[in-house]
Each structure stands twice: as structure tokens, then as C-alpha cells.
């Protein structure tokens, strides 16, 4: 609870990026576990069970979740690159600008992915 209070009081872009990076990492861990479970059904239960499950996943909600995973993954990747740049080149003074680049690039990837997924969603 103390950390949440500090997070609310310290509204620095680096703090926001830190919190979002942790949340996106946790979401990606859960996605990876579900992804492994989905693809292991072919090994455990056979090809018919996997094909049945894959057909049930072909709906607009599943495609919307795929789009969400693309955006989360791109944010996590780009924010990780931002952290590497800050550590290697000592760019702590430019955290605000670098976080803006991460947000802009993530939004661009999300909009581009939405344009591709649009016909699958509706």
C-alpha cells in the first residue's frame, strides 16, 4: 500500500513507465502460460482436441484479445529498449522524451494492427 501512495505522489514519467512495464510483464506472463497450455493440447489430447479448441478461439473477442496482446507486447518491448538506452548511454535526463517516443510508437503499432484486424473483428 505504501508503494501505491508513492506511485500516486511521484508523477514522473519514469515512475509511470516503471509501473506500466511491471503490469505489462505480468500480463505477458499470464498470456504465455495460456499460450503454452493451448498449444500443448495437441501433444496431450491429440490433434482433434487442438483443432476443436482453435476453431472455438476464432471469434471477434479472441481477435480483440490478440490485438490487446500485440499492443502490450510492443509497449513492453519498446519500454525495455528505452531502459537499455537509458542505462547504456546515461540518458536519464531524457526520460520524458523517450517515454513519449515509446507511447507514440506503441499507439502507432496499435492503430496499424487495428487496421489489419478490423475485418476480423466485425
C-alpha 101, offset from chain centre: 16
CA 57, CA 65: separation in Å to the nearest integer?
Answer: 10
What is the domain partition of the chain in residue ranges? 13-121
The CATH number that domain 13-121 falls under is: 1.20.1300.10
Hey, what's the cell of 77?
518491448
* Model pLDDT for residues 60-92, shown as the tens digit of each residue: 888 899 999 999 999 999 999 999 999 999 888
Hey, what's the cell of 43?
501433444
Question: Is the predicted pLDDT of residue 4 greater than 60, yes or no?
Answer: yes
pTM: 0.86
Amino acid at each position: 500500500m505504501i508503494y501505491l501512495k508513492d506511485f500516486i505522489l511521484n508523477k514522473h514519467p519514469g515512475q509511470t513507465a516503471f509501473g506500466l512495464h511491471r503490469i505489462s510483464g505480468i500480463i505477458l506472463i499470464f498470456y504465455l502460460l495460456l499460450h503454452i497450455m493451448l498449444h500443448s493440447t495437441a501433444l496431450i489430447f491429440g490433434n482433434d482436441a487442438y483443432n476443436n479448441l482453435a476453431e472455438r478461439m476464432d471469434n471477434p473477442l479472441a481477435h480483440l484479445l490478440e490485438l490487446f496482446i500485440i499492443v502490450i507486447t510492443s509497449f513492453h518491448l519498446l519500454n525495455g529498449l528505452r531502459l537499455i538506452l537509458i542505462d547504456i548511454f546515461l540518458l536519464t535526463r531524457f526520460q520524458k522524451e523517450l517515454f513519449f517516443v515509446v507511447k507514440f510508437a506503441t499507439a502507432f503499432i496499435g492503430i496499424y494492427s487495428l487496421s489489419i484486424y478490423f475485418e476480423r473483428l466485425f
